[in-house]
C-alpha cells in the first residue's frame, strides 16, 4: 500500500536514520542496487535445430492467466517472436525485451526469415540471412533462434516448437495476400501485443543513407574503398574528390577567418587599453601643466617672489622705526642739510639737482 504524501515526506526527512545507502529507506522509492556481477550471457543463443526437445512429455498450452500467475521453472512460457531484423537496431532489441518480459517465467524463441522469403514478400535486404541470424543470436533477451522461419505461422509449426504465445506489435501486418498475417493467432487467443519504438526502424536508417548518399560515398572513398566497390562512376568519383578538395579549402578559409577574428579582437582590446592609458596620461599632463602655468599656478608665485626680491635689492634700506624723526620746514623750497644757502649752479647742474631732489622726496614719502 502506498504511503500518503505527508508520510513520504517525513520518511525523506528521516533518511539519516535509515539503514540504506546514504540514509535512504525502502519507503523512498529508490530501487536497490544490483550486486557487482556480470549480467550478460557469455555465449550466443543456440539455433532451434541444435536444441533437444523432450517429445515424451505431451504438449499442453498454458493459458494467459496461468502464464501471468507464473509457471514452474521447468515449464517456462514459450513465447515466439519473428521478423526480418535487417540492420538490427535498438527498436528490434526493445521489441524482444518486451516479449521476454511478458510473463514472469518466459522462454523467448525468435524466428528469422530467410533471404528468399524476404525478397519475395517484402524486398531486398542490406544484410544477408546469415548476418541477420548472427545479429539476433547475440541479443541478450533471446533464448533460441529459428532459422528460415515461415512467413505465416501454421498450427504444425506452433506444435513443433511448442509455442504458447506469439509476440508482435498490434498493428495489422498485411502481406502474402492477407490483411493481417497474425489474424488467426489473435483469434486463437495466442497473441501477446508489444509496442513499437518510435523514431527508429530499418526503413528510417536506409532513408538516412539514401538521403545523404553523397556524404557517405565520399566518406568511404576517403577510407580506402574503391569506386568500383561503391558502384560509383568515374565522373562521380572525380566529382567527389573535387568536392573534398573544395571542402578542405573552405575549412582552411574558415580557420583563417576565425584566427583573423581572434587577432582583430586582440588588437581592438590592446588599442582600447592604449587609448585608456593615453587618456589617463593626457589628463595627468594637463593637470601638471595647469598647476605650473595656470592663473594660480606655481610659476606666477615664483615670479611674484622674484619680483619682490628684485625690488628689495634695488631699493635702499629703510631707517629703523625707533630712530627720531626730523621735522621738516614748512618752506616749500628744499634745503640741503649741510648748507643754509643754495649754492649757485649751472643750468645742467641745476637740472641734475632737481631730479635728485625729486627722487629724495619720493623716497621720503615712501618712508
pLDDT of residue 344: 55
Q: Are residues 177 and 226 in the same domain?
A: no
Q: Are residues 211 and 185 in the same domain?
A: no
In a domain, 128, yes or no: yes
Q: pLDDT tens digits, residue range 28-51? A: 555 565 554 555 678 999 999 999
In whole angstroms, give the CA distance from residue 328 to residue 361: 12
**pLDDT class for 236, splitting at 50, 70, 90?**
confident
What does the DSSP 8-state code read for residue 26? G
Among 141, 174, 200, give the residue marking a domain's end. 200
In a domain, 144, yes or no: yes
In a domain, 2, yes or no: no
- Judge whether residue 291 has pLDDT over 90: no
* Residues of the domain holding 186: 48-200
Q: Are residues 178 and 252 in the same domain?
A: no
Spell 292-331 as b/e; 16+ CB within 10 A means b: eeeeeeeeeeeeeeeeeeeeeeeeeeeeeeeeeeeeeeee
The rounded mean pLDDT for the chain is 79
Phi, psi of 193 (to 5 degrees): -75, 145
- Judge whether residue 108 has pLDDT over 90: yes
Domain count, the chain: 2
In whole angstroms, give the CA distance from residue 253 to residue 262: 14
In a domain, 324, yes or no: no
Q: Are residues 208 and 228 in the same domain?
A: yes
In whole angstroms, give the CA distance from residue 271 to residue 269: 5
Among 165, 200, 235, give the residue marking a domain's end. 200
- Judge whether residue 199 has pLDDT over 60: yes
Q: Are residues 107 and 216 in the same domain?
A: no
Q: Are residues 150 and 209 in the same domain?
A: no
Cell numbers that stand for 65 in this block: 492467466
SS3 178: strand
Least confident interval from 24-28, 148-152, 170-174: 24-28
**pLDDT class for 324, splitting at 50, 70, 90?**
low
In a domain, 119, yes or no: yes
Among 200, 219, 234, give the residue marking a domain's end. 200
Amino acid at each position: 500500500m502506498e504511503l500518503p504524501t505527508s508520510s513520504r515526506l517525513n520518511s525523506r526527512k528521516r533518511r539519516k536514520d535509515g539503514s540504506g545507502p546514504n540514509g535512504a529507506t525502502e519507503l523512498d522509492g529508490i530501487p536497490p542496487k544490483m550486486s557487482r556481477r556480470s549480467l550478460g550471457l557469455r555465449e550466443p543463443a543456440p539455433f532451434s535445430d541444435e536444441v533437444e526437445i523432450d517429445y515424451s512429455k505431451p504438449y499442453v498450452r498454458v493459458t494467459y492467466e496461468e502464464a501471468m500467475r507464473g509457471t514452474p521453472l521447468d515449464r517456462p512460457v514459450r513465447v515466439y517472436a519473428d521478423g526480418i531484423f535487417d540492420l538490427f537496431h535498438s527498436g528490434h532489441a526493445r521489441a524482444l525485451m518486451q516479449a521476454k518480459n511478458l510473463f514472469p517465467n518466459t522462454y523467448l524463441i525468435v524466428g528469422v526469415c530467410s533471404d528468399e522469403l524476404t525478397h519475395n514478400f517484402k524486398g531486398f535486404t542490406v544484410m544477408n540471412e546469415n548476418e541477420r541470424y548472427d545479429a539476433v543470436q547475440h541479443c541478450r533477451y533471446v533464448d533460441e533462434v529459428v532459422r528460415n522461419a515461415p512467413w505465416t505461422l501454421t498450427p504444425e509449426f506452433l506444435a513443433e516448437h511448442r509455442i504458447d504465445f506469439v509476440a508482435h506489435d498490434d498493428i495489422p501486418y498485411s502481406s502474402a495476400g492477407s490483411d493481417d498475417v497474425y489474424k488467426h493467432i489473435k483469434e486463437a487467443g495466442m497473441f501477446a501485443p508489444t509496442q513499437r519504438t518510435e523514431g527508429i526502424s530499418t526503413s528510417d536508417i536506409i532513408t538516412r543513407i539514401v538521403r545523404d548518399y553523397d556524404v557517405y560515398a565520399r566518406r568511404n572513398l576517403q577510407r580506402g574503398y574503391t569506386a568500383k566497390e561503391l558502384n560509383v562512376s568515374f565522373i562521380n568519383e572525380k566529382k567527389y574528390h573535387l568536392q573534398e578538395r573544395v571542402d578542405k579549402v573552405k575549412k582552411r578559409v574558415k580557420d583563417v577567418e576565425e584566427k583573423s577574428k581572434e587577432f582583430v579582437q586582440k588588437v581592438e582590446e590592446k588599442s582600447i587599453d592604449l587609448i585608456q592609458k593615453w587618456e589617463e596620461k593626457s589628463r595627468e599632463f594637463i593637470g601638471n601643466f595647469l598647476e605650473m602655468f595656470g592663473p594660480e599656478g606655481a610659476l606666477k608665485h615664483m615670479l611674484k617672489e622674484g619680483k619682490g626680491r628684485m625690488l628689495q635689492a634695488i631699493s635702499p634700506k629703510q631707517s629703523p622705526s625707533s630712530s627720531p624723526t626730523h621735522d621738516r620746514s614748512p618752506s616749500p623750497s628744499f634745503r640741503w642739510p649741510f648748507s643754509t644757502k643754495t649754492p649757485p649752479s649751472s643750468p645742467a647742474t641745476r637740472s641734475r639737482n632737481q631730479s635728485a631732489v625729486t627722487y629724495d622726496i619720493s623716497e621720503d614719502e615712501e618712508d
